[in-house]
Chains A and B, each alone.
Chain A
């Protein structure tokens, strides 16, 4: 029961003015054709922290994640970003409010160059997205910022090549650069190390740690060693419900979590 004592009750989180918690989910429920993939989940992500969402396969992590990013509409429940109710907004609108997500499959634009990939994101706040009558000179002022972002994730030397030709790890780095282009307050990363060889995992973990400074990060992750070194706080889901919440040490010593994971392996 150590974990529940530390967990933030949803009511308290809601009554907090939004200064302590960047992102709060209250009583989130998602029903797919009679099956509740996520049931009454309360989740509060402290501002400036790296928070992980873990759990065995089928625990509802991805559904929960998709609810928070507004990719799915919740059947029930409320989502607050900086204290503001975003439950009914579309994903494009929450992106403009500073909540930006990444995807499990590398979300890049394969036929654009690396630089163009980042420039697409920079165009969103720049407001040239509908300017079909202007030449590309209109967005040339964005190139420097794009190169800075590519420099930050360490792939600036690849700026001219087509994104499809990047290695897997570099695609992820490109995706993070694209996400950073929006200067998000809250970044949601969907399994940032999924499908990676161990030689790629460490650079990406370092990169996340680096870009998380001054931001709030929520990530879904399978790799527990990544979670243990990276995350301040962890929420464990099982059967669509919160099983435990706390630091890695608290959660990993929780008997129910151990059982859930052992059970998950046996299945």
Chain B
């Protein structure tokens, strides 16, 4: 590549088309503040907004964002803000974001833009001094499967796809312009402790824990519902198979008799018979999503031991709140 130095920007942009995988989402501090403001102002209602930025190689830069409505995008273009949509953000409560709607939105976006991310912010965690920002995308193999809308056990085994493979979390980098950095350094002299430290040292994590466990229990209920659906399906399936077997045996015996009598044998299949109608297999998508949520709640609960300690024993769970002073 002798002419590397002389390649024009356009050429570089053209060669970049060979899709490099998305590795990092780089967010401006401005975007973080905007997202937090929007999500917090409307909490506990859940809100969404659009992310704007640039897709540069393996980095997706998010340089601005705005709450829906959409016409704001046209306006922002006039003041030189990057006006390419690179995804959207949404708020969540206790991380309960893995829903079918999220996947549907993803698919909609994916149709229009090659690369998109969803940034999830959890305002409920910010008063614990945690910046709960997450950048997610759907995995390619999952998208392929979702397009064919085929979530049968067989297909999933074939693709070797399990619940952890639906979402991919992308590491987040933060960048601030030198100007902002200078202002922040100037305006906020290094204080020994900041609000963030106080929030982190709050000892009352029980409400957070309680809500998490509550959601966890709900999810377990949902999961058992899903399992019942499968049991029902398998019961029906085995009953149908038994019926088919019985019918086949009967037909074979009949055919034998006909053969002996010198008559033409009847066909061994009868599509018009209701017992040969295939029973649709319930989609595994829901149970996968529920499992994802459960994993999420478990992770959050796992993260709590700094403040409240959980001792899980076989058969029962005990929660110890903070030791009183």
- Same complex for A and B? Answer no
Interface residues of B (CB under 8 A from A): none
Interface residues of A (CB under 8 A from B): none
